[in-house]
Structure 1
Amino acid sequence: MEKYSRWRDAGTGIQPFLPPVPPRTDSSILVTLSNVIHIVVGPIQAIIKITLISIVSALYFLFVPVFGALLTPIAPLKRLWTRVFSAILLRLVLFIAGFFHIKTETLSIRKSRGSGRVESSSVKNGDVIVANWTSYIDVVYLASRFVPVFTQIYTESEKIKIISLWEAIRLAGKIPESAPSSDDQVYTVQELSLKAKKGGWGPIVVFAEGTTTNGRALLKFAPIFKDYKVDQKDGQFQVMAFKYEYAGMSPTYTVGNQLFHFFKLCSQFHNTLIIKSLANGEAPCSPHSQVPATGSISDDPVGDLLIAAVGNISKLRKTNLSMTDKRDFLSYYESRKSK
C-alpha cells in the first residue's frame, strides 16, 4: 500500500509490518470450489474451534497458575507440574487452531561441520532463547515447549521486564512502549538469565526485535546484549527462528484486531509452523563457539552476532527498521482507522 511506503526498508525493499498477501493460485474449478467451501464452512469451524480453545485455556489457567501456586513451597514439583500441563494443554490449543504437526529442524551454520550429524541443544534453566517474532502463536508454542520466562523490551531501554504468558500474547499487537514505569523491576539480559538459572525458573525468552513482523525480514535488534562480551563462554544462548507456510491467510500478526485475526486463523482448515534451531555449541558466547577474528564497531557486538545467527538459520534479510519504526507505523495506522 502506497500510504505505508515510508515503512518500506530502503535496502531490501521489504515492508515488514503489513500483513503478507496470500500467494497466487490457479483459478481452476477445484480451487474455486474449495474457496466457496471455505467461505461457508470456515466461520462455523472457527466458532467451534474458539469455543474448544476457550475451554482448554480455562483448564490451563486452572491447573497451572491456580493449582500450581499451591505447590510453590516445593519448587521442583511445581516446575514439573507446570511443564506437564503446559505441554499437554497449550499444545492442544495449537492443535485445535489447526497446527496439527509442528516441524522442527536443527541447522548448522559452520562450514567446517560439513555433512556430519547436527546435534540439537538441550534448553536449560537460565538459557536465553533468542528468536524472531512474527505472531502470538510463537509465544504459545514456546510456552508449551519450554515453559519459559517471557520478557518485554522498551524502545528507550537496554533492559527487560518479566511479563506473563497472557501479557506476551497481547504484546504481539501492541504499540511498543518507550520506557518501563517507575514501579517495574527491570534487568539486563544477563542478570535475568542468572536469576532464572539460580531459581530454576526455566529459560527466558527474548524477542530482540521488540515487536512482531510479517515474517519476511528481520528488524534491528534492540541493544540489550551489551553486558555480554564477544569472547564470553557462558552466554547460554539458544537461537531459534519461526516460519509459517500458508496458502490463504498468514498466521503472522503485526497489525489489526487480534481477536479477528485469531478468528480468521481458526477458520482455516490447517496451519503450518516450522521451527528452526541453531545446532548445539554454535550460538555466540557458548563454550565451543568461534570468536570472530575482527571486533565489531557496534556498541552491541554480541547482539550483532545473534541477529546474524537468526538470519542464517531463517534465511531472512536484516532491515534497517526497528521497533521504533513499528511504533510509528502502528500510531499512523490507528490514526487512519479512527478517521
Structure 2
Amino acid sequence: MALGRDAGTGIQPFLPPVPPRTDSSILVTLSNVIHIVVGPIQAIIKIILISIVSVVYMILVQALGSLLTPIAPLKRMWTGLFSTLLLRLVLFLAGFFHIKTDTVSIRKSRGSSRVESKQVKSGDVIVANWTSYIDILYLASKFNPVFTQIYIDCDKVKVVSLWEAIRLAGKIPESTPIDQLYSVKELSLKAKECGWGPIVVFAEGATTNGRALLKFASVFNEYSADEKLDLFHVMAFKYEYGTMSPTYTVGNQFYHFFKLCSQFHNTLIVKSLAKGESPCSSQSPATQEAVGDLLIAAVGNISKLRKTNLSMVDKRDFLSYYESREAQKKNK
C-alpha cells in the first residue's frame, strides 16, 4: 500500500488535489497568462490588507476583549461582534466573496417538508470534517467558538487559541499532551456554564484534501445516543476550485496562503445537518451505536464523502515521510 493511500477505497486524502482538466482554448490560455502575471501582485496587496485587519483584530478582540473578562456576557458580545466583522473581511480579502451555506436533511421520511437549521449555543459541540485553515476562519467569524486540539494517544482535548488552531492545520498530529485537558463533555459543560460559546471538535485530528474522511478519534466515548442532549451540530466543508484547491494538508502554509490569495476568487460551501437529526438530539431515534460512529456517518452523509480506514496516525506517518524527503532535497 502506498503511504497515505486507503487500501479499501484507493483514495489518497493527504496530497493536494490535482486541478481539473480544462479546455486549451485561446481564452483559457489568455486567462492563465493574466493570472500568472497579475496573481502575485494581487496576493501581495491582499496579504498586506489582511495583515492590517489582523492587527486590528488582535487589538480589538484579544487585547481590549481581555479587559472585559470580569463581565463575561459583555466580553462575549464584544468579541463576537468584531470577530464576525473582521474575520469575515479577512475571508473576503482572501477571495471568498460569497460563502454558500445549506441546511441538509438525511431523513428520507421528511420528503419535501421544511428543513430547519438549529441555533448554536454556548456549550454546543460543532463536529465537522477538517480540510483547511479556512474552515477555522469561517467558524471563528460565524460562531466565535472555542477551538480544540486532539491527540493520538489520548481521548481528551486541549483548548487552543484561534491562531494555534490555524497553525495546527497541516502540522504533524501530536501523541502525548502536556497541558490541561478536558473530555469533550467536561469542556462542553464548562463552556455552557461560563458562556464561552460553542466548542469545535475536528474529530479526524488532521486535515485532508476534502476527498474522504479519516476515522474519528475516540473523544465522544462519554456520550450515549439515548441521552437526548441535543448539543451536536454536524457540518461539512467543501471547496470548489479551478486552479488550486483551498484545502491544505502539507507544505509551507504561508506559500499556500499566498497562492490562495493570488486566485481571483475562491468558493466555499458549508453544509449543516438539519435540526433534530444529529446524535443525542430530542428527535433522533434510539440506537445502540457509539456516538462517534453516528457523527462520522452524519458528516459523511451531508458531505457525500467516503470514510476511510486511515487516521491521524497515518497523517503523522505521511507528514514525517514528506518532511524527511524535503530535508533530503535541501541537503543535496
What is the TM-score normalised by the length of structure 2? 0.98
Give the structure 2 partner of residue 234 of structure 1. 229
Partner Cα distance (2:316, 2:57) in 1: 32
Give the structure 2 partner of residue 304 of structure 1. 293
The answer to whether structure 1 residue 332 and structure 2 residue 318 are counterparts is no
The counterpart of 1:221, out of the listed 209, 216, 225, is 216
Report 1:34-49 matches (<5 A). 34-49=31-46
Partner Cα distance (1:270, 1:53) in 2: 15
The amino acid of 1:133's aligned partner reads: W
Identity of aligned residues (%): 77
User: Is the Cα contact below 8 Å between 1:217 and 1:318 reproduced in 2?
Assistant: yes
Give the structure 2 partner of residue 263 of structure 1. 258
Q: What's the secondary structure of 1:178's corresponding residue?
A: coil
The runs of at least 4 aligned residues of structure 1 exceeding 4 Å deviation read none
User: Is the Cα contact below 8 Å between 1:228 and 1:235 reproduced in 2?
Assistant: no
User: Is the Cα contact below 8 Å between 2:42 and 2:261 reproduced in 1?
Assistant: yes
Report 1:240-319 matches (<5 A). 240-292=235-287, 295-296=288-289, 301-319=290-308
The answer to whether structure 1 residue 146 and structure 2 residue 143 are counterparts is yes
What is the TM-score normalised by the length of structure 1? 0.96
Report 1:156-171 matches (<5 A). 156-171=153-168
User: Is the Cα contact below 8 Å between 1:172 and 1:212 reproduced in 2?
Assistant: yes
Give the Å deviation of 1:73: 1.5
The amino acid of 2:193's aligned partner reads: K
Gaps of 5+ in 1: none
RMSD over aligned Cα, in angstroms? 0.8
Partner Cα distance (2:172, 2:294) in 1: 27
User: Is the Cα contact below 8 Å between 2:128 and 2:203 reproduced in 1?
Assistant: yes
Give the structure 2 partner of residue 200 of structure 1. 195
Give the Å deviation of 1:304: 0.1
The counterpart of 1:80, out of the listed 59, 77, 99, is 77
User: Is the Cα contact below 8 Å between 1:129 and 1:204 reproduced in 2?
Assistant: yes
Partner Cα distance (1:232, 1:63) in 2: 40
Partner Cα distance (1:288, 1:140) in 2: 31
The counterpart of 2:53, out of the listed 51, 56, 63, is 56
Q: What's the secondary structure of 1:5's corresponding residue?
A: coil
Partner Cα distance (2:275, 2:84) in 1: 23
Give the structure 2 partner of residue 111 of structure 1. 108
Partner Cα distance (1:159, 1:6) in 2: 28
Gaps of 5+ in 2: none
Give the Å deviation of 1:235: 4.7
Partner Cα distance (2:59, 2:317) in 1: 38
User: Is the Cα contact below 8 Å between 2:230 and 2:276 reproduced in 1?
Assistant: no
The amino acid of 2:82's aligned partner reads: F
Q: Deviation string for 1:206-255 (max 9, x for gaps)?
A: 00000100000000000110000121111500000000000010000000
Partner Cα distance (1:219, 1:235) in 2: 25
Partner Cα distance (2:212, 2:4) in 1: 13
Give the structure 2 partner of residue 321 of structure 1. 310
Q: What's the secondary structure of 2:296's corresponding residue?
A: helix
Give the structure 1 partner of residue 118 of structure 2. 121
Partner Cα distance (2:176, 2:231) in 1: 27
Partner Cα distance (1:261, 1:144) in 2: 21
Give the Å deviation of 1:71: 1.1
